[in-house]
Amino acid sequence: MTETIAAAAPVPRPRKNPLAYLVRFQSLLGLILVLVGGIIFSPRRHGHILFLNTENVANIVRSISETGILALGMTFVIIAGGIDLSVGAVLGLSSVLTASLLVNQGWGLGSTLPLVIVVCTVFGLAQGFLSTRLRIQAFIVTLAGLQAARGLALIASNNTFININYGQGPGNAPPAFAILGERLLGDTFPVATLVFIVLAALATFLLDQTRYGRYVFAVGGNERAARLSGIPVRWVKISVYGLSGLCAGIAGIVHAGQFSFGSPNDGTGYELSAIAAVVIGGTDLFGGAGSMIGTIAGAVMLGALANILQLNDVSAAMQLLATGAIIVLAAGLQSLVGARDGSTR
Amino acid sequence: MAAGRIGMGKRNVVPPLLTLSGIEKRYGGVRALRGADFTLAAGEIHFLLGENGAGKSTLMGVISGAVQPDRGGMTLAGNPVKFATPRDAHAAGIVMIPQELDLVPGLDIAANLFLGHEKLTRFGTMARGAMVHGAKDLLHRAGVRLDPRLLVSSLRMGERQLVAIAKALAAEARILILDEPTAALSAAEAEHLFETVRQLKTRGVGIIYISHRLEEVPLIGDRVTVMRDGVVVGEAPPDAPQADLVRMLVGKSFQDLFPPRAARIGRPLIALDHARFVPAVERAGWQAPRDVSLTVHEGEVVGLAGLMGAGRTELLSSLYGFEVRGQWQGGVSVDGKPAVLGSIGAARRAGIGYVTDDRRSTGLVLGQSVARNIVMSTLAKVTPWGFVSAAREQAEVSDALNRFDVRPRLPSARVVNLSGGNQQKVVFAKELLGRPRLLLLDEPTRGVDVGAKSEIYRQLRDLAAAGLGVLVASSELPELIGLCDRIVVMHGGVTVASFAAGVTEETLRHHSLGEALVA
């Protein structure tokens, strides 16, 4: 009897689709292509490839650290089937709060940083709560959250730009905070990038190696099946926004430290860069599938691409067009594989 | 024989509407069709039966232009034809209505019926009035009484099916292929569908009807063709005994499908004594359990019979607390002690597992791997301290794949690529890995072929022998009779009767109608 079933069920094995491999390593492949392209098209001076210049590489990895951190949190949200448009604004709020507390209120780092992070996390959790409890689409709740966070940032900063001066006494931030703008290893490796790398490692571990990560995948893949299996669906859906808020808070602190100021309008549009990194990394916007390593590669790739274009004096307009083309290419590749696999996901 | 009615003589005079001869199709190493023959007469309802993988879908693909045969010929009304695309077949009047209906839920019926060939006014805007009028006419011809201005999303499955048929009429279909049209329908809805199909038949439309439900054959069939392993293994009149059809389908007899019952029945697991469920929010069409008395013992399989809308599904989902909120009143006890049920947490702590009737939307994460799905409800087991233990996961998964005989035995295969029967086995494995003591099952063999059905029955019996209690709701009476130790009949949210094994279909049907209550 069992033999009949076996004969009756010739299952197409997913590993036979070569395109599926391409998608799994799509972001890494893209990254390699961009890096090779960077070396080929890089301007040269005295026979040196400018693209590989230490200074230039440091610039690339520094430039991606903030949107990279946002993209880490965004990956959890998107795999769980949501979207978070508020992260850029929350980054702005975080930078302003940090600057204001350190400079205007004269708080120390030990109290400022945890408070800022908690505020941003709670902001994220509140959005998650609203969207699950009131059943409003995440897109709308976080669009509202974007506006609200900007508003809060304007209030907290009194609608001005807050400069961070380092030193002792009132009106100065603790000098230790300046480390976020510095570099390690003989002035080559930006501290901001180190923060990104540490967080990226933690996020990868959380997504791939813990029960929580499995919950996120299950909820994004099929919410009803997850609920039926006893997974605390509502809690998972709220918590991913908390993670995203947490990441945005840290990114805002890094922002304030790197540039030594807090500005309520900073971070505008960062949410789109973060989403772009996640999508290029192969994560499914419908939820249920994706990877953290893809997101990381996606972020590096976007940074490297922008850098090459800048080195070649390509206009800002062309840079935007190129970025758009890359996103479409990545998404197109994904849906192509989806169609070949016989599913829309 | 009554079946002789559809007179062979008639087909000798006029050429059949459609003939296929010697169709072969190979996919890589798999020979999906190995010389299949098929004929369809105008005004005939021709049943096509076969297990999953027997080649039905491929054969229908050939007819509807989606599959190009490697060998073999096809004639339409006597003329040789060859369809390169589904579009060609459609233009020739061949319309296939797939299981996943291609209707747009957000549009109304009229807009769906005229989708792609909208009627326009001379200003180029939509002629709503003309479309609504035309839609009324089409619905009328399909024998459907529905307002064409209703949104498709507001319709029930049965109504959507009828709209899909009306849409086929709009395309002037001469041949209609229905792929398991009643799979998601209630009994009443199915009856309505049969009515419509019979009307089409009198208009001379040839209908190919694919179904797993053998009991539908004598109701509307004119002829039956059975396929197995890519060839036609036989043809039968519609009044052929089910047992004969099963033998043709799987090559073994109906009684052999059901494993012998175990004699050992243990302590009571769950006991309901005049229990009622009060939902927090009243929902129209949701029959709350009003007065339920039943007991499931260890090692016992209890069946729930009753018509659609009798409250079987509702009883199971409110015992488990799935997508319904409210509280139980009256006697509810688990292990002989009063218990509070009604939430998923409470049910799982009480050792209750639940498999719904819809594995695609509530049972599985289709896009993810078999392994991910199997451990989904028992994540705590494979993630000690919250961290994934790859070794434990692998052990659990390969054990489950072996025990439930999931094909292919490949943990990384995506569930969406498995056959219906194997998907169902994955759902079972997932639920049983948590070692529930009581399993609630809703239509466990819906959309599953006979071979996989018998496999599932065997599994259930084995589990019951090991002490599992099972409460299973099914609309297939032979299934309940063959499988269960006790059958409880529901009507209007009330358990009206209870029978030991050996009860007849007649008795069950009688009580299902609620007639015994009146008498």
Based on the fold, state whether residues B12 and B140 are members of the same structural domain. yes
Number of domains in chain A: 1
Min Cα–Cα distance to chain A from B430, Å = 9
> Is residue B368 less than 8 Å (CB to CB) from chain A?
yes
What is d(CA B229, CA B244) in angstroms, rounded to the nearest whole number? 18
Q: Which of A243, A227, A254, A15 is nearest to A128 (CA)?
A: A243
- 16-45 in chain B: CB under 8 A from chain A: 27, 30
Based on the fold, state whether residues B117 and B245 are members of the same structural domain. yes
**A185 exposure class (CB count in 10 Å sphere: 0-12, 13-18, 19+):** exposed
Domain-ending residue, one of B222, B250, B278: B250
Which residue range(s) make up the domain with B343?
257-351+436-518
B74 within a domain of the structure (yes/no) = yes
Quick one: pLDDT at residue A81?
95
Q: Which of B192, B218, B195, B197 is nearest to B208 (CA)?
A: B197
Based on the fold, state whether residues B181 and B104 are members of the same structural domain. yes
The reported pTM is 0.77
Global ipTM: 0.77
> Is residue A270 less than 8 Å (CB to CB) from chain B?
no
pLDDT tens profile A202-251 = 999 999 999 999 999 999 999 999 999 999 999 999 999 999 999 999 99
Based on the fold, state whether residues B112 and B171 are members of the same structural domain. yes
Confidence of residue A15 (pLDDT cuts 50, 70, 90): very low
A22 within a domain of the structure (yes/no) = no
Is A4's CB within 8 Å of B348's CB? no
Is B51's CB within 8 Å of A8's CB? yes
Q: At residue B353, what is the residue type?
A: G
Based on the fold, state whether residues B34 and B159 are members of the same structural domain. yes
Based on the fold, state whether residues B178 and B316 are members of the same structural domain. no
Based on the fold, state whether residues B274 and B243 are members of the same structural domain. no
B280 within a domain of the structure (yes/no) = yes
Quick one: pLDDT at residue B254?
66
Confidence of residue A12 (pLDDT cuts 50, 70, 90): very low
Confidence of residue A9 (pLDDT cuts 50, 70, 90): very low
- The dihedral of CA B170, B171, B177, B183: what is its sign? negative
Strand partners, B500: B486
How high is the mean pLDDT of chain A? 86
B421 within a domain of the structure (yes/no) = no
Based on the fold, state whether residues B71 and B194 are members of the same structural domain. yes
Number of domains in chain B: 2
Q: Which of B285, B261, B295 is nearest to B186 (CA)?
A: B285
A184 within a domain of the structure (yes/no) = yes
Q: Which of A59, A36, A48 is nearest to A310 (CA)?
A: A59
> Is residue A134 less than 8 Å (CB to CB) from chain B?
no
Based on the fold, state whether residues B263 and B210 are members of the same structural domain. no
Based on the fold, state whether residues B50 and B191 are members of the same structural domain. yes
Query: How is residue A93 written in tokens?
Result: 């709020």
Q: Between residues A24 and B111, which one has the greater pLDDT?
A: B111
Quick one: pLDDT at residue B355?
93
Kindly tell me if the per-residue pLDDT of A339 is higher than 60: no
Is A229's CB within 8 Å of B345's CB? no
- 123-162 in chain B: CB under 8 A from chain A: none
Based on the fold, state whether residues B151 and B97 are members of the same structural domain. yes
A29 within a domain of the structure (yes/no) = no
Which residue range(s) make up the domain with A99?
53-340
B448 within a domain of the structure (yes/no) = yes
A47 within a domain of the structure (yes/no) = no
Helices of type H across chain A: 2-8, 18-24, 26-41, 54-79, 87-99, 109-133, 138-157, 191-209, 211-221, 223-228, 233-259, 270-280, 292-311, 316-340
Based on the fold, state whether residues B246 and B261 are members of the same structural domain. no
Quick one: pLDDT at residue A323?
81
pLDDT tens profile A37-64 = 888 888 888 878 888 888 888 889 999 9
Is A217's CB within 8 Å of B372's CB? yes
Quick one: pLDDT at residue B515?
64
Domain-ending residue, one of B232, B250, B268: B250
List average pLDDT for each run of 10 residues in chain B, which is 519 residues long. 42 76 83 89 92 84 91 91 89 86 86 83 83 89 84 84 85 88 77 88 92 85 90 89 82 72 82 93 86 94 89 93 91 91 92 89 89 90 88 91 85 85 89 91 82 84 91 88 92 92 84 67
> Is residue B318 less than 8 Å (CB to CB) from chain A?
no
Q: CATH number, domain at B306?
A: 3.40.50.300
Quick one: pLDDT at residue A26?
64
> Is residue B54 less than 8 Å (CB to CB) from chain A?
yes
Spacing of C-alpha A313 from chain mean position: 27
Kindly tell me if the per-residue pLDDT of A17 is higher than 80: no
A21 within a domain of the structure (yes/no) = no
> Is residue B402 less than 8 Å (CB to CB) from chain A?
no
Quick one: pLDDT at residue A309?
87
Is B368's CB within 8 Å of A1's CB? no
Provide CB contacts within 8 A for B130, sequence distance 6+: B119
